[in-house]
Chains A and B, each alone.
Chain A
Amino acid sequence: MMSTQFPWLTTIILLPLAASLFIPVIPDKQGKTVRWYALSVGLADLVLMVYAFWKHYDFQNPGFQLAESYAWMPQIAINWSLAIDGISMPLVVLTGLVTTLSILAGWKVTEKPRLFYFLMLVMYSAQIGVFCAQDMIQFFLMWEIELVPVYILIAIWGGPKRLYAATKFILYTAISSIFILVAALAMAFSGDHVTFNMTELGLKEYSLTFELLAYAGLLIAFGVKLPIFPFHTWLPDAHGEASAPVSMILAGVLLKMGGYALIRMNMEMLPNAHVFFAPVLAILGIVNIVYGALASFAQRNLKRRMAYSSISHMGFVILGLASFTEIGTSGAVLQMVSHGLIAAALFFLAGVTYDRTHTLDLDELGGLAKKMPMVFALFTVGSMASLALPGMSGFVGELAVFLGFTTSDAYNPTFKAVVVLLSAVGLIVTPIYLLSMLREVFYGQEGKAVAGEFLLDAKPRESFIAACLLVPIIAIGLYPKLITQTYDVKTVQIAAHVRNSIPLVAGKSPDDLAHFSVAPNLSISSPSRLLGIVK
């Protein structure tokens, strides 16, 4: 069979990386050939992955597919092994789409274009590598490789405070990723044999203490990326300072690496610890949703407002993962894909606006609707998607998470009611900050920065980019099965996997460990009740 012989995933990962090596030698005087080159590489890779998944990926199979494995560093048992399943497949396609579009969004980069496109392509490879890696060390390397281009992209092409933002980003993520390595090594060396293969690691038996420690470490690492309160403060700086194409990737793809890894490692490999940590996740999810939304409302900078809105929306992902239900888990994945599209669209449109007005200060903007009707229309659609208007993907994701948590049988009703009630507060605050953003930018009288100036409306290239993101948003919103059926079997499996651990863990009722996972505000009598576990 072709599918077993041809290394699709390796090709998809290595194509942009290999192509990026030619960028320094491409003859290009005006900096225009390079961008066409980068765009065609991005597009080729996107086409390649869509073709490969269309032809060789079975949507009804919950297991790993298109798997390949080569001995890489056999001395220390590290393999180059790749595979995708329902969780990673949609995210890989999302990466391809968003990155390709962000290359197109960076069409007008005039400063060091070669380096810019080179880094974009390297990042492209590393991101897909993260989603496909089946070996912990390989995963870690990909995770680290991806940081470097982001750092440089923010530090060179960013806003006024770019160096501060870039340094903060790299320190946060680099330090947190130590935890990945620590956990990976510890898991690899524990038990009877040494392995870095994720599937094998998931099958190993760990002591509960060990699981909890490893889980906590990984949670910190991925919590920084996702981001989870209180590790989120790098994000407003990085997203606020990065240029539009980089913000698109940051918000569209990078945050999803955190959510993906949380599912892949914390839930799949350490399900017992997940049972303990789930209530904590739920509470962190609420904090993310409400806290992010309120902080966003107070922001006076357009991009920082969107950055905080990302924090708020990623809270739903955490909440979905904590639900122990099929629909909640499915909602979490859907919310990741949906937020990837929506955030990329909004950051792109913010970039388009900035390109004209040269300010992101909401106090100086205003009344742009008349001058830029097209941008206004697209911005409105994007904001509506972001505030979870039905008919668009954000609504389906959030509804699924809500339904998942409501129907979850892992928590007692009081805890569920409190969680659902508090997170639904986000429903009210989200339109407040998004609509006042629209109002302050587009409605009313012209603001200081734009009064009397001629502002060009969206160009066809820009409308095209926005349309490429908005069309899937609406398509998913109208008929969610378009996307959910591609991963449904997998999320069902994961939900069952973590649910199976509930009786195991509850049966053990480790009093000495209860304090690890119990959220302080859950004062219910017995230890298993303390977790909010009914059964």
Chain B
Amino acid sequence: MEPIYQYAWLIPVLPLAGAMIVGLGLVSFNKDTNRLRQANSILIVSLLGAAMTFSFALFWSQLQGHEPYTRLFEWASAGDFHLSMGYVVDPLASLMLVIVTTVAFLVMIYTDGYMAHDPGYVRFYAYLSLFSSSMLGLVISPNLVQVYIFWELVGMCSYLLIGFWFNRKAAADACQKAFVTNRVGDFGLLLGILGLYWATRSFDFEVVATRLQDLVASGAIPGALAALFAILVFLGPVAKSAQFPLHVWLPDAMEGPTPISALIHAATMVAAGVFLIARMFPMFEAIPSAMTVISWTGAFTAFLGASIAITQNDIKKGLAYSTMSQLGYMVMAMGVGAYSAGLFHLMTHAFFKAMLFLGSGSVIHGMESAVGHDAAYAQDMRMMGGLRKYMPLTAFTFLVGTLAISGIPPFAGFWSKDEILGATFAANPVLWIIGYLTAGITAFYMFRMYFMTFEGKFRGNDTAVKQTIRNEQLQSMGLAFGPGAMDPRELTIEPTHEEESAYGEDHSSHDPHESPLSMTLPLLILAVPSTLIGLVGTPFHNYFEAFIHAPGETVQLAAEAGQETLSEFYVMAGSSVGISLIGISIAILMYLQQKIDPSAIAAKIPFFYRLSKNKWYIDEIYDELFVKGSRRLARQVLEVDSKVVDGVVNLAGLATLLTGEGLKYLENGRAQFYALIIFVAVLGLVIFSGVT
């Protein structure tokens, strides 16, 4: 075996070392480390760059058709129980390594510009590096326990990064919400792993799958139980990949700095769920009911995300719901058995969505110089408009991303989404209709986003818009005002609302500006795969599927399958491009030419408008049910504890003893009393055991 495989463990270890060095520096020599800003970032970026080069080498080697490589060492043992850790390099792992390191590398370069003035610059790089390391560890995991370990570690990094600006209340709430919601998924994942271990005595992906199949086939365990385990495992991806009903954390996660939203909450970590389904695919595939659950969850999430994204005004929130929707596509693809289509979309989405998010960060960065460092203004698309004039590079790349996600050929998203839709149609036409409609909605809201942000007139200095946004914000803070009504309280609230700016200066009077090269360069680089990477997976010659396919599956290329499949492709592709074009046309009419007034439509269907605007009220329902419910339960438990448990045990004389009178009595004759009790008890016990 080639020596590069023996050193593949370096890939996660290099960024880890970077994080450790910088982290220790921050802990022990805080001031000096912070002063050496770019020395730290250069160290971390170059370590990751090395990991990236290494990943490409491995990927190349796998592409040449080399055998997958696994290496293990014993990590824990107790008696006969042995648990190994290690790494595996196979086509799937090598592909994920390349995606993760590439996106992370570009995001890190971008971060230098985006976080340039932030006092937490160095800490941010340390977290980024730690995250990259955990994510890389996850994708090369050879068994379920190691997956679980890194699964939780990426969750922790996400927690740290969402809460990066710890003085903001919204960030503090969001990071906790993200962690706890993910823990609910992990709870399922752990139970699933335990259940599978109980049934199969193994943590190995393939062994679990084959043994489980045998067990079900021989009737040793009922099929329903196997399905239950599979669905429990699937709960993990549901949380991590923001699938309904555990998607609520992802939009809130946008409180973190934008590079994080691009890296973790769009391109890599959230795709981990899809990755895990892919790893466990042989198991899922054998359990049809689990596959049904997966595909429907994915389809519903795709639609839910898209339906909410339509009405969002915060550019990052809009992108977040779009991420959720696209992840729904991937999960749906897995659920209908389209293994390589799902992973293909994972790859294309990682590139174009990272670019879109980084683009939104560039927009926000530019807007901040115009409207100040208040996230509520800088991220609201109603304040934007006409930015193409000020930031042409960002606008260009954002347009590429928008075309890609809308499924317009030859951009990357077209090929992958079309492959998913084709496979779904073959499996279940109802699911296909959902996916198909969602594709149209996607094109509409993405172009709405693009037009609102980059076309038309700049609205950053429009005080009426500002006022509307402020009112909305106050309302969400729990102060309900009538629309447009001035409330005297508002004036007293206002000063407290002024966000504490980390920079201390206000540039309100400036125009938006294009971002520095360190930010636009990654955008331009990402535009290349966003445009072209889809070509590796065309139905004419699907190189991607030839490389990545489900274990034990033989690949039949469409071109070889004959003309029939290709003509089918033309029909499918034509119709999905068609619906995208419809969506785009409506967006043009509404937001570019302003021929249709969006608010008139909203007024006609107030129920649906409010449902979408309020995110289907899911947050409110969860808040009532789970957040308040758990607090109430906890308070009741404590009440029982202090009144009943403490009371009963304290009773039997203790309560009176504690209050004083009895204590005196006992203290006088304590020793005798003690001895008496012991004597009687021993006597009783000996006699009792002698009698029986």
Residues of A near any B CB (own CB < 8 A): 164, 167-168, 171, 178, 181-182, 185-186, 189-190, 206-207, 209-210, 213-214, 229-233, 291, 294-299, 326-327, 329-331, 367, 369-370, 373-374, 376-377, 380, 384, 389-391, 395-396, 399-400, 402-404, 406-407, 413, 416, 420-421, 424-425, 427-429, 431-433, 435-436, 439, 442-445, 463, 479-481, 484-485, 488, 491-492, 495
Contact = CB atoms under 8 A, between A and B. Distances in A.
A278 B642 CA distance: 28
Contact of A436 (B176, B201, B642): B176
A233 B77 contact: no
B191 A488 contact: no
Interface string B47-79: 000000000000000000000000000111111
B532 interface: no
Most buried by A among B150, B167, B631, B688: B167
Interface residues of B, number: 70
A367 B500 CA distance: 13
A484 B76 contact: yes
A38 B169 CA distance: 45
A428 B184 contact: yes
Interface string B161-196: 001001111011101100110011011001100110
Interface string B304-335: 00000000000000000000000000000000
Nearest to A164: B658
Contacts of A326: 78-81
Contacts of B685: 182, 186, 210, 213-214
Contacts of A168: 650, 658
A233 B599 CA distance: 60
Given A209-B692, A396-B76, A403 B682 contact: no
A298 B635 contact: yes
21 contacts: A168-B650, A171-B657, A171-B658, A185-B682, A230-B648, A232-B645, A291-B637, A294-B633, A297-B634, A298-B638, A331-B78, A395-B152, A402-B190, A402-B194, A406-B198, A427-B187, A432-B630, A435-B176, A439-B176, A445-B169, A480-B76
Given A297-B631, A428-B183, A186 B686 contact: yes
For the complex, would chain B's binding face be called helix, strand, loop or mixed by DSSP majority? helix
Given A230-B645, A370-B166, A390-B148, 11 more contacts: A186-B685, A207-B692, A294-B633, A294-B634, A377-B27, A390-B150, A395-B152, A431-B180, A480-B75, A484-B78, A485-B77
Contacts of B654: 171
B298 to A, nearest CB: 24
A373 B28 CA distance: 12
A232 B638 CA distance: 13
B568 interface: no
B197 A210 contact: no
Contacts of A395: 149, 152
A233 B74 CA distance: 42
A306 to B, nearest CB: 15
A457 B34 CA distance: 17
B638 A178 contact: no
B30 A390 contact: no
Interface of B: 27, 30, 74-81, 145, 148-150, 152-153, 156, 159-160, 163, 166-169, 171-173, 175-176, 179-180, 183-184, 186-187, 190-191, 194-195, 197-198, 201, 630-631, 633-635, 637-638, 641-642, 645-646, 648-650, 654, 657-658, 663, 674, 677-678, 681-682, 685-686, 688-689, 692
B180 A186 contact: no
A511 B410 CA distance: 77
Contacts of B187: 424-425, 427-428
Given A209-B692, A297-B631, A424-B191, A189 B153 contact: no
A295 B19 CA distance: 37
B78 A233 contact: no
Contacts of B681: 178, 182
Given A168-B658, A178-B681, A295-B641, A488 B689 contact: no
A79 to B, nearest CB: 20
A424 B190 contact: yes
Contact of A443 (B80, B166, B678, B682): B166
Contacts of B642: 233
Nearest to A384: B156
B649 A435 contact: no
Q: Which 8 A-B pairs rank lowest in CB-CB distance, beginning with the nearest? A: A326-B79, A443-B172, A390-B149, A298-B638, A330-B78, A298-B634, A210-B689, A297-B634
A481 B27 contact: no
A491 B152 contact: no
A389 B633 contact: no
Contacts of B689: 186, 190, 206-207, 209-210, 213
A297 B630 contact: yes
A133 to B, nearest CB: 19
Contacts of B692: 207, 209-210
Nearest to A512: B692
